[in-house]
Amino acid sequence: MALVGKKAPSFTAAAVINGEEIVDNFSLNQYIGKKHVVFFFYPKDFTFVCPTELHAFQEKLAEFESRGCAVVGCSTDTEQSHWGWLQVDKNHGGIKGVTYPIVADTTKTISLNFDTLFGDYDVDSDNNLVATGPMIAFRGLFLIDKDGVVRHQLINDLPLGRNVDEALRMVDALQYFETKGEVCPANWSKGKDGMTADHKGVADYLTKH
């Protein structure tokens, strides 16, 4: 299901913020009108590829924040599991030092609504999920603008870690379009020219490049 161009599904759930504090009513709605959001899913706490991604987002967190963009992670683990993993040092497979919010999708409904849920399940007559096997999230990533609209999405299979620099590039591209009104061609990066949406702009771009 493509969410691009649509409002991001709303939710309220428990999360760990600032690397240590558990809150019960975390929502992405707090960012509407204020910040762009990179909201990403990962499969499981206490695994192998996942901590490399969470640390990679932390290493670039200041760059996201300098652009007025929040970073929020999410998996189907509990908030207690998140908290425990945050207490474990990086050299022991933990994510100690990660400070952006990590949402606990224990009901699996956030992953389901963002269409990142992986596993065997069905929906009963009361619209409840009934699991017949493990239910975890694929590596989904969603760039959400200040209006709460999804502008970019990417979903990787479980073994395939993401490129955090590419996520940052997409934030740059969206903000460039929003401020300049110009579109971003293939392999565009911050500091390069964009393209206007008229034939003259396309001709000028091709002449320069």
Kindly list the catalytic residues.
Answer: 50
CA distance 197 to 182: 7
Nearest to 197 by CA among 209, 207, 185: 185
Tokens representing 113? 């609504």
CA distance 6 to 18: 29
Answer for the pair 194, 184: CB distance below 8 angstroms, yes or no: yes
- Helix, coil or strand: residue 59: helix
Phi first, then psi, for residue 195 (nearest 5°) are -130, 140
Q: Which residue's entry shows tokens 């932390």?
A: 58
